[in-house]
Amino acid sequence: MTAPVDALSPVRAALLRAARVSADAVRDRAEADAQETLRSARATAEAVLARARDLGRADGAAEAARERVRAVQDAWTAELAARAEVHAALRAAVRAGVRRELTEDASVRSCCAEAARRLLGPQARVTAASEGGVTAEVPGRRIDLSADALADRALDRLGVRAETLWEPA
């Protein structure tokens, strides 16, 4: 017996081939679109990442600059504090030395009294200072030749030359 012949079989086969070709074309376009979308997304991500790196570098450089300024300021503050400490120690040592000299050598005390009379006149009332040296007064004028005042004046006359004491040799 022979199989019945289906008259629509060639039409079905043609439609199936056309549907497969159309489906393959749609799939190929979808794959191409997906590839393009991925390329575009990767390019955008790389651009965003590069921009973020640049901003991070700029922020890091700015923070490093601020930190350097803070470090310089902190170092300067520490140096000024050390200079003040050295200057105070120097002042204390000079005052102690002048007091010692005025206590141990009567001729130095006499020289202070004579200097006060020369500066204010013979009518000056000269008084021994408690820490050594003298003070003298006449109406409207006073002079302090005490140990501390003499030491302070000597250091003040050094002025900026005193800074050479803590500069590197």
pLDDT digits (tens, 9 = 90+) for 91-141: 999 999 999 999 888 898 899 999 999 999 999 999 999 888 999 999 999
- Across the range 149-162, mean pLDDT stands at 88
Per-residue pLDDT at 5 exceeds 80: no
Do 86 and 166 form a contact (C-beta atoms < 8 A)? yes
For residue 76, the model assigns a pLDDT of 93
Burial class (CB in 10 A: 0-12, 13-18, 19+), 126: middle
Tokens of 88: 């105070």
Angstrom distances, CA of residue 8 to CA of 4, 12, 13, 93: 12, 6, 9, 124
For residue 19, the model assigns a pLDDT of 87
- Across the range 45-58, mean pLDDT stands at 90
Mean pLDDT (the chain) is 89
Per-residue pLDDT at 51 exceeds 80: yes
For residue 3, the model assigns a pLDDT of 60
Which secondary-structure segment (H or E) carries 139?
none
